Amino acid sequence: MRTDYCGELRGEDSGRTVSLCGWVSRRREHGEHLAFIDLRDHTGIVQVVVDHAHDIRSEYVLRVTGKVRMRPEGTRNPNLPTGDVEVCDCEVETLSRAEPPPFPLDERLETDENIRLKYRYVDLRRERMQRNLRVRAKVNSAIRRSMEQQGFVEIETPMLIANTPEGARDFVVPSRLKPGSFYALPQSPQLFKQLCMVGGVDRYYQIARCLRDEDLRADRQFEFTQLDAEASFVSQVDVREFITNAVASATEAVTGQRPAEFPSITWHDAMERYGTDKPDIRFGLELIELTGLFAHTEFKVFQADCVKGIRVPGGADHTRKQLDALTEKVKLWGAKGLVWLKVEEDLSLNSPITKFLSDAETENLLGAMDAEAGDLLLIVADRRATARHVLGLLRLELGRPPVAEGGLHFLWVVDFPLFEDLDEEGLPVPAHHPFTMPKEEDLALLDSEGKGLLEIRAQAYDLVLNGWELGSGSVRVHRPDIQQKVFDAWGIARPDAEQRFGFLLDAFGYGAPPHAGFAFGIDRLVAILVGEENIREVIAFPKTQTGGDPLTEAPMEIAPDHLTDLGLRLLPHKS
């Protein structure tokens, strides 16, 4: 039906007769016998000159055949790639009429997201969405190519499964043939990819859809897509290299530049220096350790488990009101309070607490924080975990650039602990799923209880990009006896472990190779590559923040007969 795409016509095409197909982006009548139509397809917009456009409306679908010519001098549009040319002497065929669009498609106008999603097919016509979807396709394609080059085989794992142990709630699907029983939708292909290793696949990958019934956020949807990979007879260094290659290729395919560096940091250092296991290293404001400095202080507030601070260069112009607001935030995040000190021109400190500090303490503090005139020093004294966490959030609050700025900074976080902390009941809080291998030298610690478990280091690693956790992976347990011990340490009761994962333990009994793997979120990677704050912008048909799809109206009730078939009866709604 067409010879060319709208957005690709240039001066060199002038004189050619072309046929174009697309949507009417705009029409302008100029008197009786002259009208302009901006015709749009996924490549962009071109101006079409016609005698009249009385019977043409926005978003009509047209086929236009005409001659390309240079626009008259003075009417060229340097902001449009096709702005030097127009198509004239046109024959216009209306292929489809259209209702007035539910919202203006102008990129500059913000439209309520519910309306955009209800009419997603109209929204997708916009340049931003076309770009995002196409970047996503490029990323997928580059990842596939890279994984294949590295000897990985694409294998599809099932969607209707028993259950996965990623720690989120499962979505479930009732079974018709076995009423009262349910399938779970996969939170990840974790168990199947490990079974593939037992099955001799050697290197598996999949661009896998995963489903987790968790609260939605800007970087989280119920369903998301990840590159899922697993390999046998490899070390964690090998796995990080496979993944680095895939991510670097995907990035290069989009930006034209292969990221040069994938530095790594230990989990411990990340927590101490950035207060988080997913540091955004696009900016400084690192956490500075001060506990030792105040070991013998008279100042009650600083007689704490941990004293840490950040230096905000030039931050001394914060008003009292701003500092009070920061203090409020810090309390909401769980700290007892926030100490602030402004560094004056003469390097003296202006703060409500100066009188409690000795001269030596003041001097040491200025030295430890590399303080300069005009700086603001912010200090939290608390339990170590709290101080780190709160300062980590404060650091982001004060310094985090928008997604599209500051470049791409990948970071491997390695040497995760097996358990991050103990919960209120004293049970260990796992850092990863229960198939993660502890470090060889820490295996004996699996027999400890309570705090002792926190000492166990795992062979687990995360990949972080600009402060977003892209993904995680680990060397896996491949021996049934160690696996059983890990389940025990997790507090998974034996009958429970047997019922949920007995098949895996059985499989390990039939000859399991040592293996390791990783998965990273493609939605997140693409969002950052195109500079979107919200992953919904890089998903063709996402759910809203409340988990609904305004377009198809999912989730919806099902017919009573269907419920009966499934052996289900509904309880009265809780509203």
Q: Which of the 8 DSSP states describes residue 298?
A: S
Rounded (10°) CA dihedral 226, 232, 237, 242: -40
Contact set for ligand ASP, span 234-293 (CB under 6 A): none
- Minimum CB separation from ligand ASP for residue 146, in Å? 17
Tell me the window of 150-158, 381-389, 469-477, 523-531 that interacts with ligand ASP (CB under 6 A): 469-477
Q: Which bin fits 374, alpha (ψ -120 to 50), beta or left (φ > 0)?
A: left
Helix (H) or strand (E) holding 574: none
User: With CB under 6 A, what is the number of residues at the site for ligand ASP?
Assistant: 9
Instruction: Name the one range near ligand ASP by CB under 6 A: 55-63, 109-117, 126-134, 472-480.
Output: 472-480
Count of alpha carbons within 13 Å of 514, Cβ hemisphere only?
A: 10
Residue nearest to ligand ASP (CB): 188
* H-only helix segments in 189-285: 190-198, 236-255, 267-274
Nearer to ligand ASP, 188 or 236 (CB): 188
CB of 8 to ligand ASP, least distance (A): 41
> What is the residue-wise DSSP string for 156-175?
---SSBS---SSSPPPEEE-
> In 10 A of CB 346, how many CB atoms?
6
Q: Is 232 in the site for ligand ASP (CB under 6 A)?
A: no
Minimum distance between the CB of residue 61 and ligand ASP, rounded to whole angstroms?
Answer: 42
Given the complex with ligand ASP, which of 392 and 517 has the nearer CB atom?
A: 517
Q: Which is nearer to ligand ASP, 302 or 419 (CB)?
A: 419
Q: One symbol per residue from 322 to 341: x for binding ligand ASP (CB under 6 A), - otherwise; what is it?
A: --------------------
53/414 with CB nearer ligand ASP: 414
3 state SS of 194: helix
> Nearest Cα to 43, choosing from 23, 18, 60, 71?
23
Which residue in 113, 166, 469, 488 binds ligand ASP (CB under 6 A)? 166
Q: For residues 57 and 500, which CB has a smaller minimum distance to ligand ASP in the complex?
A: 500
The distance of closest approach from Cβ of residue 518 to ligand ASP in the complex, given in angstroms and rounded to an integer, is 5
Residue 265 tokens read as: 């940091």
Ranges within 489-518 binding ligand ASP (CB under 6 A): 517-518
User: In Å, how far are 323, 359, 387, 458, 523 from 299, measured between CA atoms?
Assistant: 21, 13, 17, 39, 48
Output the six-digit token pair for 200. Answer: 């001799």
- Choosing from 473, 483, 507, 525, the residue that interacts with ligand ASP (CB under 6 A) is 473
Please tell me the distance from the alpha carbon of residue 568 to that of residue 559, in angstroms, as a whole number.
11
Q: How far apart are CA 133 and CA 444, in angstroms?
A: 49
User: In the stretch 185-204, what mask flags binding to ligand ASP with x, by CB under 6 A?
Assistant: ---x-x--------------
> What are the distances in angstroms from CA 113 to CA 53, 433, 525, 538, 557?
32, 35, 22, 14, 24
Binding piece for ligand ASP, criterion CB under 6 A, among 48-56, 232-240, 379-387, 471-479: 471-479
- The encoded tokens of residue 459 equal 């062979």
Q: Which is nearer to ligand ASP, 42 or 500 (CB)?
A: 500
Counting contacts by CB under 6 A, is residue 521 touching ligand ASP?
Answer: no
| Sole residue written with tokens 């590399």 | 370
In angstroms, give the least distance from the CB of 473 to ligand ASP. 4
Residue 474 binds ligand ASP (CB under 6 A): yes
CA–CA–CA angle 528, 532, 535 (5° rounding) = 85
Q: Which is nearer to ligand ASP, 190 or 351 (CB)?
A: 190
Report in angstroms how near the CB of residue 208 gets to ligand ASP at its nearest: 9
Min separation Cβ 412 and ligand ASP, Å = 14
Shortest separation between residue 460's beta carbon and ligand ASP, angstroms? 8
Helix (H) or strand (E) holding 413: strand 410-414
Q: Which of 82, 459, 472, 484 binds ligand ASP (CB under 6 A)?
A: 472
Q: Number of H helices and number of E strands within the chain?
A: 13, 22
* Complex with ligand ASP: residue 132 or 225, whichever CB lies closer: 225
Query: What is the smallest separation between the CB atom of 525 and ligand ASP, expressed in angstroms?
Result: 14
Could you report how far apart the first and last alpha carbons of the chain are, in Å? 54
User: Which range in 297-305, 358-366, 438-446, 468-476 contacts ligand ASP by CB under 6 A?
Assistant: 468-476
Q: Give the interface with ligand ASP as residue ranges (CB under 6 A).
A: 166, 188, 190, 472-474, 517-519
